[in-house]
A and B are shown apart, each in its own frame.
Chain A
Amino acid sequence: MRKWLPFVVALLPLAAQTADEHANRAAEFVQSRDLKSAEAELRRAIEMRPSDPTLLTSLGGVLGMEGDLHGANGYLRRAVQLDGENPLLRRNLAANQWQLGQLHEAATNLDLLLKSNPRDGAAIFLRGMVADGLHDYTRCIELLESLPEVTTRKPEAAVALADSYYHTNEPEKARAILQPLAGSRLAYEASGVAIAAHDYETAVALLSSLRTPDAAARSRLALAQSRLEIERGNLPQALAMASAGLRDAPDSAELVMTKASLESTLHYYTDAVPSWKRALALRPHSEEARRGLATAEWEGGMKPAAIADFEEGLKEFPHDAALRADYGTLLLDRGLGDDTARGTELLRRAIALDDSLAEAHYRLGNALLEAGDLAGAQKELEAAGSLDSQSARVHFALSRLYRRMGRTGDADRERGEWQRLKAGEARVASTGPALGAVDR
């Protein structure tokens, strides 16, 4: 969590003018953390000297400390407009913009500062933080690593640097930086970075280090623990963790979606359906939630509801290829004979929206093969093969196709490839309970 950096307090003058007297009183109030009184004194001072950039930036600073970043921004910008050469004023504006998420504006101001003084430590720090926010991870690492002991002096930098390390595929460095944050005020924020990088073990360690975790921390810990168990293949335990987390944070969309997804994967469809409904209530425009709900309804034997939800999704997400591909696949694969035409049409539409969907090409190709349209099947199955050459079933379908086309040599080659890939699958055979169709 970012806090206003009180660079500006030191600027408050102690002169004996009336405006200055107000400013002096404001400084005293800041010292005693009475920000409301400080703000009132500075406003009176500005009424008297409205074009004093120092007073303006001071008020901006106090507003920032009060959490009114938007209010602060106007005063800070006006101060820079009045005295563009003052690096302190620009730095304050940049810091506020960074905290407001106006990253491009912040970057522009910080680059100006660094152009005039490449050794401006505060600007380097802020520019590094902004670079992380702008996903310019290499620049972030370059800047923050250039500041000696920055992660010790400014732990916020550790979080940004770790984020950049994760994104540049250096997770060990990220973990090394994050570990010292355990038990610190930044442990929660650091855990978010680890979760985003799917480093759930580090996230769990950070969150577990909190001495008095609040509900948000407890639910995030549950999320991290749940996802850690998913990674370990222990889905029932993952589900238990997600469910426990929801007791602390019933409105956590991430936890609800994790739970719903786990229930679907475990075939607990009658549990998954209300979970996906809850996810959809929390994220009404989530395509994933709509698709998850419709699919769980279908798999759970609630086909009319599933069709209604798929159709609703088609209207709400007219350009969503995955939704159409999933719906079309279910209609073809698990529907009745009447569903074939609709399933085929949906797959064609999915491919028109996104030609890179190997699954849609494969399903459509198989449907055309069954219908005897060998040319159409060839086009789709070969497209699927080029998009996903490691899919055993695509090679199996190509083998069937080529045999029907009289291309025996190609058919044998594809069957051989299918057998090779299938042998790899067999080595990880399921040992779970008997739930439904095998190999689904």
Chain B
Amino acid sequence: MGAYGAVIVGGVMTAAVVVLLSSAAPRSDAVFSDITAEAGITWKHFSGESPDRFLPEAMGGGVALADFDGDGLADIFLVTGGETPRGRAAAPPQNALYRNLGGGRFRDITAGSGLARVGFYGMGVAAGDYDNDGRPDLFITGYPTSALFHNNGDGTFTDVTAKAGVANTGRWGASAAWIDYDRDGRLDLFICNYAKFSFEHGPHCTYQGEPTYCAQTAYEGDAPALYHNNGDGTFTDATQRAGLAQLAGRALGVVSIDVDGDGWPDLVVARDASPNLLLLNRRDGTFRDAAADAEIAFNMDGNARAGMGVDAADLDGDGWPDLILTNFNDEGHALYLNNGRFPFTERTLALTRPYVGWGASFLDYDNDGAQDLLIVNGHLNRVIERTRRDVFYREPPLLLANDGRGSFAEARAAGPAFARGYVARGLAVGDIDNDGDADAIFTRLNDSPVLLRNNVGQNAVWIGFELEGTVSNRDAIGARVTVEHDGRRMSRWITSGSSYLSSHDKRVIFGLGGSRPASVTAEIRWPNGRTQTVSGLAPGRYHRIVEPR
């Protein structure tokens, strides 16, 4: 059973509209069920895989979960790759927009949405309300340009790239994140640019005589881009001014979050065989890379790992956001515990060593109050199994349960999808059925996505929040919500980016375990730095909280 919506402004409850949404499908004992087929999702990604083995063919596409039509249900947007010189499609590759009909059903509404084709090789997506009109817009990354689509609110989108000035021309954009880095109440845009690339002059590699993708080091890394939102539908390239232009490297994943607790949003960037970045906001429009001080830039040998995905959440209840960065096989996906000081403590997840990890997201799948971890994996090299018995081209996703102190072990009965191999890439998390737990969708290379419905989280007590900024950006990206329950203080952040090429549902859920409080008090630190305390909140439902002016 799910519930949606008590609207609170300025700490005073002004309305309570409860929408009951019951899921029609029977629930499984497994944590997650693959409901892709019954949901009606049939779209397939197209990578343009060719004998040339251009690296973009192997990188996959992103997925966004957001309520595009304002009906209270998270919809799905999926990014396709595209054709390559010798990798042609029978029909032109298309992105997909699925409207959430409720009851676990989705309808393809791509046609006429304006999102079907973007005119470039697509990669990632970042959903964010850049013009604060209450509707999530879409930034789609790719090569050799990227594009911004304004949400018209009627199921259609308008390509406003040219006016906005965010085409990122000539560059290979990967993940992107919305971030109000100067706290002016408008979302700015950060883009991970992966590498210098050309379909005309790509390097070519073979493995045991067969064409395969070259190592990333064959490609020269590019600098990220930061676009400042001018508030009039246009953006200004602020990369140089922010001190980011010299940070060339193969950036793939990014999450915007306040890492050092100063109330200003920072950026963590996962880079592929380039040092990861921890861009601390200097509060003057510039950033300082503190990754070396935090010891997240390199492994303990001083080598940059193959960072792909990234996410941040408080894993041990100390109020500081900890980090996960997914890497290549043999490296292990790296977990960093932030103790509020440098260096962070690394706890590489040894059990992840056989996997090539991409999308990653912290989520409290069982709503016990501890942030667990979902990672999707999949190799680049089709013939890897000829030489390794522990590494596979198709790899299962991993659901790792947190013991509440930041130690992880594989979750039991995660579901059949966790015993199957996939060539997975993007991952987005959100509550698609509004039942108070985290569902997920991940993309696959040249295949349909996999939609996972959470069957267990709703059995525990929970409370959810959807924040609406007024002085701050309307999506409240950068806000922190803190709830105390059973002597435990839990913090959740509204982030952007995170995972890989993808964009999550921006609502936050707190699992309260088995004991149901009469009411819950939440402390919200809004992106503009102001703090608000809201009391008397009923568990078992989402609360929409509007920032006091």
Contacts and interface: CB of A to CB of B under 8 A. Distances in A.
A381 B343 CA distance: 19
Contacts, number: 122
B386 A438 contact: no
B411 interface: no
Interface string A259-270: 000000001111
A440 B330 contact: yes
B214 A433 contact: yes
Interface string A361-376: 0000010011000000
B351 interface: yes
Given A403-B343, A433-B214, A268 B302 contact: no
A207 B354 CA distance: 45
Given A270-B387, A435-B384, A336 B215 contact: no
Interface residues of A, number: 41
A374 to B, nearest CB: 13
Contacts of A301: 354, 388-391
B257 interface: no
Contacts of B386: 268, 270
B330 A268 contact: no
Interface stretch (B15-23, B200-208, B484-492): B200-208
A236 B208 CA distance: 8
Interface in A403-426: 403-404, 415, 418, 422
A300 B387 contact: yes
A432 B215 CA distance: 6
B369 to A, nearest CB: 25
A396 B299 CA distance: 10
Given A268-B208, A440-B330, A300 B390 contact: yes
Interface string B339-382: 00001000000110110000000000000000000000000110
A439 B273 contact: yes
Contacts of B327: 437
B151 interface: no
Nearest to B350: A336
A439 to B, nearest CB: 4
A10 to B, nearest CB: 62
Interface stretch (B303-311, B507-515, B536-544): B303-311
Contact of A431 (B203, B328, B343): B203
A431 B330 contact: no
A271 interface: yes
A431 B388 contact: no
A236 B209 CA distance: 9
Contact of A433 (B215, B292, B353, B389): B215
Nearest to A366: B300
Contact of B380 (A370, A429, A434): A434
Nearest to B292: A415
| Residue in B209, B273, B330 with the greatest tally of chain A CB atoms within 10 Å | B330
A397 interface: yes
A433 B353 CA distance: 19
B329 interface: yes
B320 interface: no
A439 B380 CA distance: 17
Contacts of A366: 300-301
Interface residues of B, number: 44
A403 B341 CA distance: 13
Nearest to B379: A434
A396 B212 contact: no
B218 interface: yes
A335 interface: yes
A318 interface: no
Contact of A418 (B212, B302, B390): B302
A436 interface: yes
A122 interface: no
A433 to B, nearest CB: 4
A438 B391 CA distance: 15
Nearest to A272: B387
B298 interface: yes
B375 to A, nearest CB: 17
Contact of B300 (A267, A334, A397, A440): A397
Contact of A302 (B205, B300, B389): B389
Given A397-B300, A400-B295, A431-B218, A437 B306 contact: yes
B213 interface: yes
Contact of B328 (A269, A300, A437): A437
B217 interface: yes
26 contacts: A236-B206, A268-B208, A268-B387, A270-B388, A337-B350, A392-B302, A393-B301, A397-B300, A397-B301, A400-B300, A400-B343, A403-B343, A415-B292, A422-B302, A429-B218, A431-B218, A432-B218, A433-B212, A433-B215, A435-B215, A437-B331, A438-B303, A439-B273, A439-B303, A439-B304, A440-B330
Sort A-B residue pairs by CB-CB distance and give the 10 closest, nearest first: A301-B390, A396-B302, A439-B303, A437-B330, A301-B389, A433-B205, A431-B218, A393-B301, A437-B331, A433-B207
Interface of B: 58, 203, 205-209, 212-218, 273, 292, 295, 298, 300-306, 327-331, 343, 350-351, 353-354, 380-381, 384, 386-391
Given A369-B300, A430-B215, 16 more contacts: A269-B387, A270-B387, A301-B354, A302-B390, A336-B351, A395-B302, A397-B300, A397-B301, A434-B205, A434-B212, A434-B214, A435-B215, A437-B327, A437-B328, A438-B331, A439-B273
